[in-house]
Structure 1
Amino acid sequence: MTPISDLIDLTAALVTALLAHVVIQTPRSCAPGIKPVLYWVGNKHLSRPQNSFSSQRRPLNTLLSWITNLFPVNILVQDVDGLISAAEQTLATVLGIDTTEDLSSNCATVTIIFARGTTEAGNVGALVGPPFFDAVQAQLPTASTLAIQGVDYPASVPGFLEGGDPAGSQQMAADVTQALSACPSTKLVMSGYSQGGQIVHNAAKLLPAATMAKVSSVVIFGDPDYPTPVVNVPASQQLVICHAGDNICQAGDLILLPHLTYAIDADQAAAFVVAQL
């Protein structure tokens, strides 16, 4: 676990790393001052070659290194509030991402309504949402456009323990209704991470079946309600990604590293979304 007293030093390291990765061609090496890390998610070993380059929207290997060094793991959800919210805000601030409000924009080819995880910053967080959005944008046909709306809700620990914040569930349902009303031709995606997955499930129950029939796809990362399907959406249009060893996906309340690394699944999730269009 990273002590809170180390956050300032880590923030400095993150800023240095960010400045080293501002171009599209990003080296697959660890951020300055951060030790190399080998990742295991399920049975997949994620090695990081030191001398190759990859055209990435954001440097995913660096993001995973930051998560491993910055975020406390092996803690109960009940104890997460101050620890993970501080780490999350640091990550979001350094990357310059966490809030997206596109419902008031012009209609897009694809609209993603996304609910962030517990204590994440802004309204889309930093751990999963932004890498997922980047991947969708990269895989869309050239002429297609993408709108993203984060669900504005507290994302608090009590909300998670309650099965998903009731007000947040109502807000997501309202966001879906608004998007489909204003832009009936848009391909709408309902998505969420962690407690955001609970919000997706709850919002689907609140919406009429006729409205849910217009939803193009549903994507949930680290779903606390797994394996319960989202109602009124065909199984072929739902993708739930749960890492082996993710206690949250097992109806637990222990946050382990597999729950914090869903950014590695962004391309898989994006491919699923594009296939449903």
Structure 2
Amino acid sequence: MKPTQALIALAAIVYAAPVVEQTKALAPPLAELDTHFEHHIKRCGKDEPTFLGRFPFANETYNQLTDGTPCRNVTMIYARGSRQAGNVGKANNTGPALFNSLADRIGLENLAVQGVTYKARRRDYIFKGGCNEGSKTMARLINQAASQCPDTKIVIAGYSQGAQLLHKAAKNVTAGVTQHIAAAVTLGYPEKPMGKIAASRSLSVCRPGDSFCDKTIPWKPFVPFVGAPLWWFLTMLDTHGDYNENATAVANWIADRVTNIG
């Protein structure tokens, strides 16, 4: 077959071949997409954003005592540590870890969380023994919880400088209000009496190696510059920041107090 004849034959075959129509898939209507993803879309409004999984406390700020949230069986008033975000700290900090563990024990619907808003400056922690205005704010919140929700079981807790606030606040509430406090917890701060709160309702948690808390090695501000090894100081700081790892044990202790109040 001559080349010209071959080309003509090939063209005839291509022309005779059936044409396969390529149809683009139609995009589903927006309404269908909205319905499909409605459980995963964060809606704007006053409600807190949904946090998937077992851990609903993912925000840096909680004001469930002062924002109109109905009274719940347990009200946690929490003071965060120095320079932590919001009024309770980030989701992986001590406070939210504790709230989530407690909610897992007693049920989310039974727990209201109220953070203490204060400046949380390190210089106040080191040189002034904590923020006085912050401790007054915490005492006011304790009083408000007792009067606004008389049947709620109040839990007060503080981490590091927040524990300083707790000690001062506990001294400034009346014996009558103290009776509403089912549990008081400090984390990362030396053990001391907590006002008029009974020892059976008080817990002080110190992690081994946290000299800010247990004073096993005397320390002063700027320890690395007064002779202590830098590696020790940095290790101690890491230990002081790991109290989120104690959340489950502390939540179990609190749960026992809020379900069995003598």
TM-score (norm 2): 0.67
CA distance in 1, matches of 2:194, 2:140: 17
Partner of 2:114: 149
Q: Offset of 1:174 from its aligned partner?
A: 0.2
Q: CA deviation at 1:222?
A: 0.5
Structure 1 position 189 matched with structure 2 position 187: no
Q: Equivalent residue for 1:250?
A: 214
Give the C-alpha shift of residue 233 in structure 1.
0.9
In the alignment, is residue 102 of structure 1 matched against residue 64 of structure 2?
yes
Pair 1:23–1:187, CA change in 2 (3 A): closer
Match for 2:64: what amino acid?
D
Larger radius of gyration: 2
Partner of residue 262, structure 1: 243
Q: Distance in 2 between matches of 1:234 and 1:207?
A: 14
Choose the corresponding residue for 1:119, options 83, 88, 94. Answer: 83
Shift of 1:180: 0.8
C-alpha displacement of 1:219? 1.1
Q: How does 1:185-224 map to 2 (within 5 A)?
A: 185-223=151-189
Give RMSD over aligned pairs.
2.0
Q: How does 1:173-184 map to 2 (within 5 A)?
A: 173-184=139-150
Question: What is the deviation of 1:141?
Answer: 5.0
Report percent identity of matched pairs.
34
SS of aligned partner of 1:108:
coil
Greater percentage in strand: 1
The offset of 1:138, in angstroms, is 0.4
Take 2:173 and 2:211, find their aligned partners in 1: how far apart are those partners? 29
CA-CA distance at 1:23 after TM superposition: 5.7
Work out the CA distance in 2 between the residues paired with 1:203 and 1:146: 21
Residue 241 (1) aligns with residue 205 (2): yes
- Amino acid of the residue matched to residue 191 of structure 2? P
Deviation of 1:158 (Å): 2.3
- Aligned partners of 1:213 and 1:232 also within 8 Å: no
1:99-155 C-alpha deviation (Å, 9 max, x unpaired): 11111311011000000000111000121000100001000058x511000001000
In 2, Cα distance between the equivalents of 1:130 and 1:265?
A: 12
How far the C-alpha of 1:57 sits from its partner, in A, is 3.2
CA distance in 2, matches of 1:117, 1:214: 24
Q: CA deviation at 1:228?
A: 1.4
Give the aligned length: 186
Q: Tell me which residue corresponds to 1:82.
A: none
Q: Is the CA contact 2:153–2:182 (under 8 Å) kept in the aligned structure 1?
A: yes
Q: Residue in 2 aligned with 1:164? A: 130
Q: Give a deviation string over 1:137-179, Cα, whole Å, max 9, x none.
A: 000058x511000001000112212111000000000000011
1:96 Cα offset (Å): 5.3
Ranges in structure 2 where 5+ consecutive residues have no aligned partner: 1-50, 222-232
Distance in structure 2 (CA, Å) of the matches to 1:122 and 1:214:
26
SS of the counterpart of 2:169? helix
- Cα distance in structure 1, aligned partners of 2:198 and 2:64: 27
In structure 2, what is the Cα distance between the partners aligned to 1:141 and 1:97? 18
